[in-house]
Amino acid sequence: MLLSINDLSVRFATAAGTADAVASLSFAIEEGETLAIVGESGSGKSVSALAIMGLVPNPPGRVTSGQIVFRRRNGSTEDLLRASSARLRDIRGNEIAMVFQEPLAALSPVFTIGEQIAESLRLHQRKSHADAMRMAVRMLGSLGISEPEMRARSYPHQISGGMAQRVMIAMAMACRPRLLIADEPTTALDVTIQAEILSLIRQMKEETGMAVLFITHNLGVVAQIADRVAVMYAGRLVEEGPTKQIFSSPRMPYTSGLLASVPRLVTDDSPLVLSAIPGEPPSPLAHPRGCAFHPRCRYAVKGLCDTTPPPLRDLGNGQAARCLRIDEIVGGAT
Amino acid sequence: MTGFLFARLLRAIVTLWAVLTLVFVLIHATGNPIAVLAPEQMDAAQRAALAAALGLNKPLLVQYGVFMGGVLHGNLGVSYYSNTPAMPLLLSRVPVTLELVGLAIGTAVAIGMPFGVFAALHPDSLADRALRGLSVLGASVPTFFVGIVLIFVFSVLTNVLPASGGGNIVHFIMPAITLAFFRIAFFTRLVRSSLLDSLSQQYVRTARAKGLSEAMVVLKHALRPAALPLVTVFGLQFGQLFAGTVITETIFALPGMNRMALEALFRLDYPIILSYVLVAAGMFVFINLVTDVLYGVIDPRVGHAR
Ligand SMILES: Nc1ncnc2c1ncn2[C@@H]1O[C@H](COP(=O)(O)OP(=O)(O)OP(=O)(O)O)[C@@H](O)[C@H]1O
Ligand SMILES: [Mg+2]
């Protein structure tokens, strides 16, 4: 076990009230594994990632419960929610690194690309400026960037979004982290660049044996990259399991809906259905009683789904789902 | 960057040239420059001699050339009042004003910056709200009032600081504080909002994600982009103050450039006024140039834009 999250809850104090962004979330990542977190906008994916990094903006956010236990390079374990800030800084950017969704906004406009990559090396590996810069250039080269020396001296405003995301990956990979968190790393990029970035992450993973926590809306991407999938809805984990199993036999109606909303260009000549799930995700200010998904669920039963919060049920084979009618709707829903 | 500097330098020169031409046109727009340039008590012969000396009997274009030549040599005529060359006379007063402005801006930055940074790092804390209250006060009290209160407290009541005169640094303390008073409040608010904005940027989160200490995050990654709007405002304030210390120089009887210009205005001492316009314009242009260069140094995006 590399990382294990237990009963994590994160709340935001907003003008309109308290938002339960993440509610009692638990999951684990094994060494070298790629876990994808999927879910609609606002389901709490980014907040969960930020909680691992210790970067939940406070105020307005606050981690209200849980443990995030991380196994370090030296074999010791650390609860990231209780570690001293010095120890946390030692882990951040070094053993756990993160790639963000909008690479151009995530890079500082006033430092060169080389300097920004070199910064982690100087910080965590105590490299000299010259050594760190040389390593940065080498990283850029190994990520398939042409003329890496010249690129290292450019500023973010001089490069494209795809290039910027490579730079972000170089920055995150600089210290060979044991866990890479990628929060929708390809959403802001066009399709061909997306594929390149994905294969780059796979390549890095093969080279270093790191684990990846991959956050995305895109189930197509999940099928390509993930060993396991965790589905989030309204701040909760609603289903998880091995990728193949989740794709072939989803057991939670929300997961089925997500899968059904993937546009199947080749096999379907019907018009693209972008949302097979009716309605909107609930406001984090007021999650529905019972199962949070029940107002949108075609299998919801009055007097059951709207009153009783479903537990996460272990189904064997590493799959677990949160649905009260799991035994009645066997075979998933289409 | 070199191209950028060259373009800005060219712009500065063109601006100065435009100001000079405007001054030339203004002198001649009255019809008879001698009427403007000669003191009332001059008789006709003296006027004719002055006209010849200034080349005013020559064609306009030649006069323009002569005028520009005079400007380049710092020759803008003789002060009617003191009978000495106007430009050197005015320039002798510039250091006092520069020192006053420098001290005032320096004080305002030295106090306003740390206050602003503190307020941005602890938004809505008690200290932040107190600072905000003080800055409203600082912004609403008029300069002359601050000066008078200072004189009353430190000269009249306690007699620790001299109320007037120049030459010694002690003479600059109260005038500099008077001018800095409003600007401390102003800079505090400015630094606060600018830094708050930069702290909420995604690249600051990236810096934290790298494992940098909070001090490094603020000092290295947040403060520098936040300095951009500050440089503009500091420059503007400097230029504004350079030509805007009349009241303070008068209250504290400092022998500065602005007081001389005011006196010249009362006496219609045109050569001094002309010199003043030129010096003030030159200073504005110079400050703009420095601001532009600093901009390019702080933000690489600026230097690269064509
Ligand atoms: N800075 C914030 N202030 C207030 N509320 C926030 C903030 N950040 C997140 N939240 C709340 O947390 C909830 C989950 O947000 P999160 O960013 O984790 O969603 P997400 O699953 O990453 O969505 P997306 O796919 O759009 O990135 C949001 O609905 C929002 O209410
Ligand atoms: Mg997100």
**DSSP of A205-251, one letter per residue?**
HHHH--EEEEEES-HHHHHHH-SEEEEEETTEEEEEEEHHHHHH---
In a domain, A281, yes or no: yes
* Beta carbons of B209 and A102 less than 8 Å apart: no
Q: Is A282 in the pocket of ligand 1 (CB under 6 A)?
A: no
Bridge partners of residue A69, in order along the sequence: A4, A79
* Beta carbons of B300 and A109 less than 8 Å apart: yes
Q: How far is the CA of A144 from the centre of ligand 2 (A)?
A: 27
- Distance between B123 CA and the closest CA of chain A, angstroms: 10
Residue of B nearest to A106 (CA): B203
- The CB density around residue B303, as the number of other CB atoms within 10 Å, is 18
> Looking at ligand 1, which residue's alpha carbon is closest to its atom 22?
A46
pLDDT at B131: 83
- Global ipTM: 0.88
Shared domain for A211 and A272, answered yes or no, is: no
Count of structural domains, chain A: 2
To test the contact with chain A by mutation, choose from B1, B124, B202 the residue with the greatest count of A C-beta atoms within 10 A, namely B202
Residue of A nearest to B212 (CA): A89
Least confident of A165-174, A289-298, B160-169: B160-169
- In angstroms, the CA B188 to CA B176 distance is 17
At residue B118, does pLDDT exceed 70? Answer: yes
Residues shown for chain B: 306
* Beta carbons of A92 and B210 less than 8 Å apart: yes
Backbone angles phi, psi at A36, to 5 degrees: -100, 135
pLDDT at A112: 94
Shared domain for A16 and A161, answered yes or no, is: yes
* Beta carbons of A120 and B221 less than 8 Å apart: no
Of the candidates A100, A123, A155, the beta carbon closest to that of B206 is on A100
Q: How far is the CA of B251 from the centre of ligand 2 (A)?
A: 60
* Beta carbons of A109 and B203 less than 8 Å apart: yes
Residues of B with CB under 8 A from a CB of A: 201-203, 205-214, 221, 224-225, 298-301, 304
Shared domain for A88 and A11, answered yes or no, is: yes
3-state SS class at B100: helix
Could you say which ligand is closest to the alpha carbon of residue A22?
Answer: 1
Residues of A with CB under 8 A from a CB of B: 53, 55, 85, 88-94, 97-98, 100, 102, 105-110, 112, 119-120, 123-124, 155, 157-158, 168, 171
Q: Cα B109 to the chain's mean position, in Å?
A: 15
For the CA atoms of A76, A77, A83, A87, the dihedral, rounded to the nearest 10 degrees, stands at 40
Is the CB of residue A137 less than 8 Å from the CB of residue A116? no
Dmax over Cα atoms in chain B, in whole Å?
Answer: 83
Shared domain for A206 and A280, answered yes or no, is: no
> Looking at ligand 1, which residue's alpha carbon is closest to its atom 17?
A46
Percentage of residues in chain B with pLDDT exceeding 90? 22
> Which residue shows structure tokens 């984990």?
A237
The closest alpha carbon to A222, from A239, A198, A204, belongs to: A198
pLDDT at A272: 45
Q: Is A8 in the pocket of ligand 1 (CB under 6 A)?
A: no
Average pLDDT over residues B210-215: 92
Percentage of residues in chain B with pLDDT exceeding 70? 92
Is the CB of residue A252 less than 8 Å from the CB of residue A323? yes
Of the candidates A55, A85, A124, the beta carbon closest to that of B209 is on A55
Find the DSSP H helices in A239-331.
243-248, 253-260
Shared domain for A207 and A264, answered yes or no, is: no
What does DSSP say about strands A236-242 and A313-314: parallel, antiparallel, or unpaired? unpaired
Shared domain for A192 and A266, answered yes or no, is: no
Q: How far is the CA of B66 from the centre of ligand 2 (A)?
A: 69
For the CA atoms of A44, A47, A48, A49, the dihedral, rounded to the nearest 10 degrees, stands at 130
Which residue ranges does chain B devote to CATH 1.10.3720.10?
Answer: 94-255
At residue B286, does pLDDT exceed 80? Answer: yes
Give the single-character DSSP code of A272: P
Q: What is the CATH number of the domain that holds A192?
A: 3.40.50.300
From residue B96, alpha-carbon distances to A260, B92, B101 in Å are 78, 8, 9
Average pLDDT over residues A96-120: 93
What sign has the CA pseudo-torsion A287, A290, A295, A298?
positive
In a domain, A308, yes or no: yes
Domain around A314: 247-321
Contacts of B205 in chain A (CB under 8 A): 55, 100, 106
What number of C-beta contacts closer than 8 Å exist between A and B? 70
* Beta carbons of A109 and B212 less than 8 Å apart: no
In a domain, A239, yes or no: no
* Beta carbons of A100 and B207 less than 8 Å apart: no
Contacts from B261-266 at CB under 8 Å and sequence distance 24+? Answer: B261/B90, B264/B79, B264/B81
Shared domain for A151 and A283, answered yes or no, is: no
Residues A277-333: tens digit of each pLDDT: 888 888 888 888 999 999 998 888 888 899 999 999 999 888 999 999 988 876 544
Shared domain for A148 and A37, answered yes or no, is: yes
CATH architecture of the region B94-255: Orthogonal Bundle (1.10)
Contacts of B299 in chain A (CB under 8 A): 109-110
At residue B306, does pLDDT exceed 70? Answer: no
Least confident of A60-69, A71-80, A186-195, A208-217: A186-195
At residue B76, does pLDDT exceed 80? Answer: no
The closest alpha carbon to B243, from B93, B114, B121, belongs to: B93
Q: Is A17 in the pocket of ligand 1 (CB under 6 A)?
A: no
pLDDT at A331: 53
Q: Please return the burial class of B229, using the count of CB atoms within 10 Å of its CB with bins 0-12, 13-18 and 19+.
A: middle
Of the candidates A110, A112, A123, the beta carbon closest to that of B210 is on A123
Kind and range of the H or E run holding A99: strand A96-99
How would residue B54 be classed by pLDDT, with cut points 50, 70 and 90?
A: low
Percentage of residues in chain A with pLDDT exceeding 70? 94
> Looking at ligand 1, which residue's alpha carbon is closest to its atom 19?
A42
To test the contact with chain B by mutation, choose from A53, A84, A119, A159 the residue with the greatest count of B C-beta atoms within 10 A, namely A119
Shared domain for A65 and A185, answered yes or no, is: yes
Contacts of A120 in chain B (CB under 8 A): 210-211
Q: Please return the burial class of B267, using the count of CB atoms within 10 Å of its CB with bins 0-12, 13-18 and 19+.
A: middle
Shared domain for A139 and A215, answered yes or no, is: yes
Tokens at A295, concatenated: 């107002």
How would residue A273 be classed by pLDDT, with cut points 50, 70 and 90?
A: very low
Omega of the bond leading into A59 within 30 degrees of 0 (cis): yes
- In angstroms, the CA B280 to CA B287 distance is 11
3-state SS class at A114: helix
The closest alpha carbon to B264, from B86, B94, B85, B72, belongs to: B86
pLDDT at A114: 94
Least confident of A53-57, B97-101, B153-157: B153-157
Find the DSSP H helices in chain A.
45-53, 85-91, 103-106, 113-125, 129-142, 148-152, 161-173, 191-208, 219-225, 243-248, 253-260
Residues A210-267: tens digit of each pLDDT: 999 999 988 888 998 999 999 999 999 999 999 999 999 899 999 988 888 766 544 4
Q: Is A47 in the pocket of ligand 1 (CB under 6 A)?
A: yes
For the CA atoms of A37, A41, A44, A49, the dihedral, rounded to the nearest 10 degrees, stands at 50
From residue B299, alpha-carbon distances to B113, B225, B249 in Å are 20, 7, 37
Q: How far is the CA of B258 from the centre of ligand 1 (A)?
A: 57
Amino acid of residue A205? K
Residues 6+ apart with CB under 8 A from B74: B87, B88, B91
Is the CB of residue A214 less than 8 Å from the CB of residue A226? yes
At residue B37, does pLDDT exceed 60? Answer: yes
Average pLDDT over residues B15-23: 84
Of the candidates A92, A106, A123, the beta carbon closest to that of B203 is on A106
Of the candidates A93, A105, A112, the beta carbon closest to that of B209 is on A93
Average pLDDT over residues B102-108: 92
* Beta carbons of B202 and A55 less than 8 Å apart: no
For chain B, give the mean pLDDT: 84
In a domain, A330, yes or no: no
Tokens at A13, concatenated: 């104090």
Domain finish residue from A163, A196, A226: A226
Mutate which of A37, A43, A186 for ligand 1? The one with the most ligand atoms within 8 Å of its CB, which is A43
Shared domain for A185 and A312, answered yes or no, is: no
Tokens at A327, concatenated: 């035994």
Shared domain for A202 and A256, answered yes or no, is: no
